[in-house]
Chains A and B, each alone.
Chain A
Amino acid sequence: MTLQRRELVLAFLILLIPFSLRAQVSSERLLHASDEPQNWLTYSGSYASQRYSSLRQINLTNVKNMELKWAFQAQSLQKFESTPLVVDGIMYVTQSPNDVLALDAKTGRAFWMYRYTPSPDARPCCGIVNRGVAILGDSLYMATVDAHLVAIDARNGKVLWNKKLAEPAAGYAATLAPLVVKDKVIVGVAGGEYGIRGFIAAFNASTGEEAWRFNTVPDSDDPAHETWSGDSYKHGSAAVWMTGSYDPNLNLTYWGTGNPGPDFAIAQRVGDNLYSDSVVALDPDTGKLKWYFQFSPHDPYDFDSVQVPVLADANWHGSTRQLMLWGNRNGFFYVLDRTNGRFLLGNPFVKVNWASGLDANGRPMITPQPPGQPSYPGIQGGTNWYSPSYSPRTGLFYLSTWEDYSTTISGVPVEYKEGQRFGGGAVTGAITGGDNPGTTRQGPINTYTEAVAHGSVKALDPQTGKSKWTFDMHDVNTSGILTTASDLLFAGGREGYFHAFDARNGNLLWKINLGGEVVAGPITYQVEGKQYVAIAAGNGLFVFSPRDGAK
């Protein structure tokens, strides 16, 4: 080979390097996702799930100049709950029911679209929704509403493998974004309203072969099995419908679990009903349970504890401690030691009357209301699955809430029938004969929420569990939250506004009316030196950046 030819080959190889590097999202890159803030590599931004970005180009001063750069309109009228991933300028986003698109993160133009057709047997309880994909190497992973896990080529959107998780006709579904840990893809199943038996399972990322399965309603060889009366465990639910977190130092993956089944007919499932409404800490290599903490034993209120576990190495009364922060649907904020699940602190963040407080072990001291009397918070909870955020800069935990919200729940016996709802009760809102807030916005008119509830973005101090600031909204709040190193906090709301706040004090800095309910979490990323913020609202995805040339 002549010198000239060698130089040409070398130049060609050098040209290839950035592309080959860009194409591969190694498990090592996922471990250090926070070190490449131009990307958004996991559902929650990093394994610690803080939804905190170290990007600071958009700051307290120029955020007021944010303008729309592009929008993507989903071909669906379902709720847009997806959090996109951004990998080296390519955005991967899902639309209902289970379509995946690769978009240019700078322009919104599509490279490819993959369409998945779910089985007509699929019957997810609360919307044909999907919350996003995971990535490893050149592969994307999506869980589907008919309870499959699909691997897709990130370059061209073609299917690599497709595994059935469980039977959709029995009510099993999957709506979460998977979590990749090392060489495994971890998912859970939804279906808590159908009397399924929940589980978390890990699959070989290359082959789709199942590596392990953890039953969230335990088998008879687990002492926790005794927390279910009779055969009630068979339809005990404890679904897993939100993405977990991972601590590489402890080699533990954490997942929240949903309500026990039947939801309200609690006489049919006497006992604590482990591991429903809990956080479970699993070995990601084997699926073995290391510890658990149950937030709402023997839950009669549908208080799913599927919230994303937020991990923070933070000051705890004078020294750094490995914490887990959790704003629970049951209205209490918790601080746990994530090495062992020990309860450190708990405090209500909204009006609560179903318990007078938490004891020294974090167990609720229950105060069931008389029949026909409202329980606070109501069935949708003080918060729900909407992703919270933690800023290491402010040391505050941020979440979306439903304030002063109640429902009246009455249990009635229910017989299990495969594929039918297994609720066992009736739920009444605070307004008899009128509108009450539910799982989704009813439309553009709101003349009632002040009579039944309102929403907020709330900043909690993990040291005390007390609120540092609250931004009240007229309607309830269903948005995820993002914080940045420039002390910005981004959040939407059911009304369709997308806001930027000063994370330190809650001062409103910027807002825009996007016209549709926000039921997703914002993300931020950077392409060609320019920082963007993306949020789904209504049926569209909207991407913002400060106006060019603005100071």
Chain B
Amino acid sequence: MPKHLRLRLSNVVVVTLFLAVISAASANAQTPPGGYPPADIRYGAQIYSVQCTPCHGVSGNQINGVDFGSGQLRRAPTDQDLRTIVTTGIAGTAMPPFKFDASELAGIIAYIRNFRDYDAKGITLGDRARGKVWFEGAGGCANCHRVYGKGPRLAPDLSDVGSIRSADYLQRTLLDPAGAMLPVNRSVHIVTRDGKAINGRRLNEDTYSVQLIDDTEHLVSLYKADLREFTVVTTTTMPSYKDKASAQEQADVIAYLLSLKGLR
């Protein structure tokens, strides 16, 4: 059998996420016929790094209420909306009008629409239904993570993780959870002046206080002046699945996690 046919008939559907995103986008009503050409996306990435990062940041979430990685842009549900915003700015906000030519504009829109997964080429996606079963069963993920209102709140709620994290990041987290852990997911260990120990996941912090959800799932706010110990923990209790999950299981659970888009 020719090699390309063997691939097509393979039991495991392996695609690059890059292609998956394009095909997924093709099904979206806002997408131009034929999806976003990869060359446009790459060109748009170059333009973005120069024109857009000063305000929106490399991660695309530096403006309050705007997160390109989420795939949800409140002011720009369609590409025409996005085109209008880029070329005319948004009155009363810091968004200025940009003078892009047609190819630059096509590139920037293509890149923003594929923002989250731009660097995810080569990540293997499996079967999301099988991934859900593994997540809730053998993988043990549901012992700590909550999805759509089910499960404990000790670890981050993953109901919308498919909107806010890339496949690349999810894979890195599976293989090296401590190394990949973002500061937003750090936990804290606290001992109050009267000797009470509190462990939990940090939700917010400023110079004088810290807010967390403790290991009994209660929201707690404490003044730092009332604490004897306050440690931001940079390690994690999440195990590495490098040797705990097969390549197939990893591919399946990543596909499942990417399908979690949150409830709105």
Contact = CB atoms under 8 A, between A and B. Distances in A.
A425 B50 CA distance: 6
B54 A421 contact: yes
Given A447-B202, A474-B205, A442 B92 contact: no
Interface residues of A, number: 57
A427 B203 contact: no
B221 interface: no
A450 B205 CA distance: 10
B155 to A, nearest CB: 15
B58 A434 contact: no
Contacts of A417: 99
B89 A123 contact: yes
- Residue of B49, B65, B202 most packed against chain A (CB within 10 A): B49
A65 to B, nearest CB: 20
A435 B185 CA distance: 12
A388 interface: no
B96 A77 contact: no
Given A440-B64, A446-B205, A123 B97 contact: yes
A78 B94 contact: yes
Main secondary structure of the interface of B (DSSP, over half): loop
B207 interface: yes
A445 B203 contact: yes
- Residue of A122, A424, A446, A473 most packed against chain B (CB within 10 A): A446
Contacts of A318: none
A120 B92 contact: no
Interface string B87-121: 01101111011111000000000000000000000
B184 A448 contact: yes
Interface string B71-93: 00000000000000000110111
Contact of A126 (B54, B93, B99): B54
B243 interface: no
B194 interface: no
Interface string B220-263: 00000000000010000000000000000000000000000000
A474 B211 CA distance: 14
B170 to A, nearest CB: 11
A169 B99 CA distance: 9
Contacts of A438: 55, 57, 62
Interface in A412-428: 412, 414, 417-421, 423-428
A147 to B, nearest CB: 13
A495 B205 CA distance: 10
B183 A420 contact: no
A441 B91 CA distance: 20
Interface string B185-224: 0100000000000000011111110000000000000000
Interface in A23-70: none
Nearest to A118: B91
A455 B204 CA distance: 17
B204 A446 contact: yes
A126 B204 CA distance: 26
Given A429-B57, A433-B166, A495-B207, A450 B94 contact: no
B207 A426 contact: no
A125 interface: yes
Interface string A257-287: 0000000000000000000000000000000
B206 A474 contact: yes
A121 B165 CA distance: 36
Contacts of B98: 123, 419-421
B236 to A, nearest CB: 14
B119 to A, nearest CB: 9
B64 A426 contact: no
B92 A447 contact: no
A451 interface: yes
A436 interface: yes
Interface in A71-88: 76-78
Interface residues of B, number: 41
Main secondary structure of the interface of A (DSSP, over half): loop
Contacts of B205: 446-447, 450, 474
Contacts of B97: 120-121, 123
Contacts of A441: 64
Contact of B51 (A121, A126, A420, A429): A420
A443 B64 contact: yes
Contact of B50 (A76, A421, A434, A511): A421
B166 A78 contact: no
A78 B92 CA distance: 7
A127 B98 CA distance: 15
A240 B28 CA distance: 46
B54 A423 contact: yes
Contacts of B91: 120
Given A414-B50, A419-B99, A447-B204, A442 B58 contact: no
B61 A435 contact: yes
B99 A426 contact: no
A497 B98 CA distance: 35
Interface string A388-424: 0000000000000000000000001010011111011
A204 to B, nearest CB: 31
A329 to B, nearest CB: 15
A472 B55 CA distance: 26
Contacts of B51: 420-421, 423
A425 B54 CA distance: 10
A522 B57 CA distance: 29
B23 interface: no
A349 B49 CA distance: 30
A475 interface: yes
Contacts of A304: none
B183 A434 contact: yes
B167 to A, nearest CB: 12
A128 B93 contact: yes
B111 to A, nearest CB: 13
A193 B54 contact: yes
Interface of A: 76-78, 96-97, 120-128, 169, 193, 412, 414, 417-421, 423-429, 431, 433-436, 438-448, 450-452, 472-475, 493, 495, 497, 511
Q: Which 5 A-B pairs have the closest CB atoms?
A: A123-B96, A426-B49, A448-B183, A434-B182, A451-B183
Given A123-B96, A429-B58, A434-B59, 19 more contacts: A97-B92, A124-B94, A169-B99, A420-B51, A420-B99, A425-B50, A427-B53, A433-B169, A434-B183, A434-B184, A435-B184, A436-B57, A436-B62, A439-B55, A442-B64, A443-B64, A446-B204, A447-B203, A475-B206
23 contacts: A78-B92, A78-B94, A124-B96, A126-B94, A412-B46, A418-B99, A420-B100, A421-B51, A423-B50, A425-B50, A429-B58, A434-B182, A434-B184, A435-B184, A438-B62, A440-B63, A440-B64, A447-B183, A450-B232, A474-B206, A495-B207, A497-B208, A511-B208
